[in-house]
Amino acid sequence: MDEINKNHNDCSCEEAAGKILKHFGIGLNTRLEKQLKNSTEIDKYPNDETHISERYKKSIFRRELPFKNLEKYQDYSLEIYIDEVVNVGGIYIGLDKLTHFTASGFLYYKIYRLALEFVESKEAAMQMAIAMGIYGEKYILGKIATGVFSFADLESNYQGFQLALDLCNSGEPWVGL
């Protein structure tokens, strides 16, 4: 840790926390998410043995279509919007929650840090970051794109944000400088 700190002594703990979260991925289908999707060693659904034509037939998002030949396009759309579900310590979660944790958590953190320059309290800055997440879920990433307002997505966003905050604000820093 001392060697790393010697090479990056101009970086505050807050900047380092943002860089750590950003390192895990801030786009869709991050490296970690792709690794888990391609892994044959984790319990996931749909698994590699589930044929593409069967993967989304049970989805709550699947709609009856007036023309049979449109089903393949619906399957393609569902494949884009629905991630695999993985078993993490006995809890099944959608892989997209990892991207929400890192990417949206990072975005919350960046908005929070920017807002601190303009508002009078950390609480107000936090509320601005959360409001941005709710807006995104209502319009950009959620309701319009998939038809779903996901509280699970918002919780993942918030927990990623909390990780960034906790790296520097939990007594002894987790990120040594």
Q: Determine, yes or no, domain membership for 74.
A: no
The two structure tokens encoding residue 101:
């944790």
pLDDT, average across residues 39-65: 72
Q: Determine, yes or no, domain membership for 90.
A: no
Q: Say how far apart CA 163 and CA 174 lie, in whole Å.
A: 10
Q: Which residues pair with 85 in a beta bridge?
A: 45, 94
Instruction: For residue range 162-174, list pLDDT tens digits in order.
Output: 998 988 876 655 4
% of the chain residues with pLDDT over 70: 75
Strand 44-45 with 91-94, pairing: unpaired
Q: Determine, yes or no, domain membership for 79.
A: no
Q: How many domains does the chain have?
A: 1
Instruction: For residue range 59-117, list pLDDT tens digits in order.
Output: 766 777 777 777 767 666 666 667 788 887 888 888 888 888 888 999 999 999 999 99
- What's the domain range around 7? 2-28+95-169
Q: Say how far apart CA 66 and CA 74 lie, in whole Å.
A: 12
Q: Say how far apart CA 125 and CA 119 lie, in whole Å.
A: 6
Q: Determine, yes or no, domain membership for 137.
A: yes
User: What is the per-residue pLDDT for 32?
Assistant: 78
Q: Determine, yes or no, domain membership for 134.
A: yes
Q: Determine, yes or no, domain membership for 87.
A: no
* Continuous H helices in 10-121: 13-23, 31-38, 52-55, 71-81, 96-99, 105-115
